[in-house]
A and B are shown apart, each in its own frame.
Chain A
Amino acid sequence: MTSYADYTTGEPVTDTKAPDGPIAECWDRRRFEAKLVNPANRRKHTVIVVGTGLAGGSAGATLAEQGYHVVQFCYQDSPRRAHSIAAQGGINAAKNYRNDGDSVHRLFHDTVKGGDFRARESNVHRLAQVSVEIIDQCVAQGVPFAREYGGLLDTRSFGGVQVSRTFYARGQTGQQLLLGAYQALSRQIAAGNVELHPRTEMLDLIVAGGRARGIVARDLVTGAISTHVADAVVLASGGYGNVFRLSTNAMNSNATAIWRAHRRGAHFANPCFTQIHPTCIPRTGDHQSKLTLMSESLRNDGRIWVPRAQGDRRPPNEIPEDERDYYLERIYPAFGNLVPRDIASRAAKNVCDEGRGVGPGGQGVYLDFADAIRRMGRKAVEARYGNLFDMYQRITDEDPYEVPMRIYPAVHYTMGGLWVDYDLQTTIPGLFAIGEANFSDHGANRLGASALMQGLADGYFVLPATVNDYLARNPHQEAVTAEHPAVQEAVAGTEDRLHLLLAVDGDRTPDSFHRELGELMWELCGMARTDAGLRKALERIPQIREEFWRRIKVPGSGEEFNQSLEKANRVVDYLELAELMCLDALHRTESCGGHFREESQTPDGEAARKDDTFSYAAAWEFTATGEAPVLHREDLAFEYVHPTRRSYA
């Protein structure tokens, strides 16, 4: 057996299906060239959508409005609870309502630059174009965005940009956008166009005749395994941040849908591009089950600092001004507290590593609103951030109006995901991936308020057009029934896996393995990565996996509501995905965006990209569990935004 790290290199990806010609005309051309399905024939086509977040909810509703028969799944008891709901800050759009020099091209430029030149230009440009339509759509649905006294929409500026293009609904923008999509979806459920399966989790993908034709799912209430067949499958199942166990993701967010698709042949791109968010509430102890994000909009008015002296344990209010280090303002005078997330996170890690961190274990920095309260008054601060301050106080029992908040970075978002072409189609024909589940738009680092934009762009506008084209070009597919060997094989594999999990009857819980893996990943594949550390992780992960299958204990049976079994099955996939993340991080010996290799930094400690060697997206092909995967490179060409070293100083 060869070592997992001895990957081989396969054929490069040469065709992303983006139309030729000027980038600003690509999307129009693609839509014009797309074939259409006769409206009368659409109801004969079934499309499966997995997930009901911003991407899945908007896609399901829109496909159903177009006349397709949509079969949709979510593990939650209601589609309204998908984790998009927790997004706080806002959604970007190039409306230029502020007349501050914004434009589609500038949003495109900022996103490519913010992603540290590791995203595909054509996709990003389309995202910027579509952004303006999203705001119109959401307003029409009754999304209660913040407004000015004149009745027009309010905007604010958000991490990493110098224009005010972020639309928001207090600190609950994700909730309000998701409810808009959920309500549109609800309308289609009532109309009989969407068949919804809540509390149902996808456990495998059915590939027949080389095409994605359905899924295997488990009813989380009865435990029944069912198969669902369709003409196309859309994965909108979110990211894989929970590989780290402690993250800002929801407890049940998981990677099973995308990982099972990867095992079936969908390439997985840039798995090491994970985003560590700078403004989260620090952990308090071993009992911690998840981490809570404080919206980075707080950085608009809050000032980040630590004591100048190491080990200064005085309460923050007793530390005089000249003994404080407002380190972001000092190092990056132009952007100050608004530098992109990866830079802010790493800077926080650095000052804590220097022994200047605050709070329990020195794992925290201050986010101080004293100046903002002096400048605009407590009332104005309350209006802007009241709910965030309340949340902080509930969790920490400290009053942020009186004492500075303490924050620390935490895993928040994954830029990597299933590789998709311009049509958001994976390497398996008929399998599409949208939202955080794909890798397409954010490169190596996502800008604030761009996740909501991408989810809705994919779901409302991009995917419905490209699925239409796929179905028009593949009208007569072979019938796939329960007796089809591909279906039987997928069902048998799923049942075997669940039976095995229940049969081991060992002495460790799923969570104990998840905890061990998460701590390893945070330490060795987190904010700073090294060759030695990643090799160590690649040695440990197969050992943990081996131990898992020897010692896992799952009480109860598979034929009932069994949350331990759900969890164990998700950990099985984390234990494989983690290995790919480490390999990807090991092979990319440059630093870029959220991926920081200690070996590749400038003299002043900034990330050093190596464009000559690594200006590509790494799309990995699965071979077998624990066996070296195959790397397919998609070279990235930058015709419009020329790679420069990101400078926020």
Chain B
Amino acid sequence: MKLTLRVWRQKNARADGAMATYEVDGVSPDMSFLEMLDVLNERLALDGEDPVAFDHDCREGICGACSLVINGDAHGPERTTTCQLHMRSFRDGDTIDVEPWRAAAFPVVKDLVVDRSALDRIIQAGGYVTAPTGSAPEAHATPVPKPVADQAFEHAECIGCGACVAACPNGAAMLFTSAKVNHLNVLPQGAPERETRVLDMVAQMDGEGFGGCTLTGECATACPKGIPLTSITRMNREWLRATRKASDR
């Protein structure tokens, strides 16, 4: 396959960026999208040009590092991570646009690499159970009904890639935040901090410059792990409940 790539190039956070065009030849349908970029980068490096910077690590769809907007879609045309997208999803002669996550809260670091530390700060605000090492009771002391455990797991699958933010027309981080709130709030272990967790995490999210949620649902469509849109409505319910309880005190 022979492809034309239009790639966002930006030297650093302060520089202006622009799309640059590259031809890539000899692409096999079995290559992953990132392996196709590897081929381009090897050529650029040999020509003494700056290779295209992009985040990637596990290349198994679980670390959440890779983060490309491909032809306008976060992670591209398939419902998966960029690293698990294969070139068989494209056709010979295609022109493909490759851009970084676009969101006010995700400043560009270089080329296709963005700063997603805002997501870490949302977790730091309350996305945990306070259980210092050594303090844990015997694991079977608290049975957790299987449906509850499964529900927690469904939300815990979030890989923190930020595709939900990139896909959202408002640049909101509601799906990311709600996934963690719901993972912990449905479990008995998370119950003691149920209210402070949702209030603190939502406050942090708002403070980071993410947009507001208008329930367009783009986030859940882009999520490679299938976190459902109802996650957001559940978090809203948790937030209202916590707000009411706080005002009752």
Contacts and interface: CB of A to CB of B under 8 A. Distances in A.
Contact of A85 (B63, B110, B143): B63
B149 A76 contact: no
Interface stretch (A312-320, A343-351, A553-561): A553-561
Contacts of A564: 45, 51
Interface in A156-211: 169-170, 172, 175-176, 179, 182-184, 186-187, 189-190, 198
A541 to B, nearest CB: 23
A149 B86 CA distance: 38
A250 B42 contact: no
B109 interface: yes
Interface stretch (A57-65, A226-234, A627-635): A57-65
Contact of A78 (B32, B120, B125): B120
Contacts of B80: 394
Contact of B157 (A172, A253, A290, A554): A172
A137 interface: yes
B119 interface: yes
Interface in A58-107: 58, 61-62, 65, 76-83, 85-86, 95, 97
Contact of B116 (A62, A77, A79): A77
Interface in B55-97: 55-65, 78, 80, 84, 86, 88
B189 A142 contact: yes
Contacts, number: 217
Contacts of A77: 55, 65, 115-117
A95 B11 CA distance: 54
B143 to A, nearest CB: 3
Contacts of B144: 147, 151
Majority-rule SS of B interface residues: loop
Contacts of A297: none
Nearest to A78: B120
A507 B51 CA distance: 15
Contacts of B16: none
A183 B128 CA distance: 5
A563 B138 CA distance: 46
A251 B57 contact: yes
A22 interface: no
Q: Indicate the size class of the contact surface on chain A.
A: 35 or more
A447 B49 CA distance: 45
Given A78-B116, A250-B63, A152 B140 contact: yes
Interface of A: 58, 61-62, 65, 76-83, 85-86, 95, 97, 133, 135-137, 139-142, 144-153, 169-170, 172, 175-176, 179, 182-184, 186-187, 189-190, 198, 221, 250-253, 284-285, 287-290, 292-293, 391, 394-395, 397, 460-461, 464, 507, 509, 511-512, 553-556, 560-561, 563-564
Given A250-B58, A511-B42, 14 more contacts: A61-B133, A78-B120, A136-B136, A144-B152, A144-B156, A152-B140, A169-B153, A182-B123, A253-B57, A289-B59, A292-B60, A391-B61, A460-B133, A461-B134
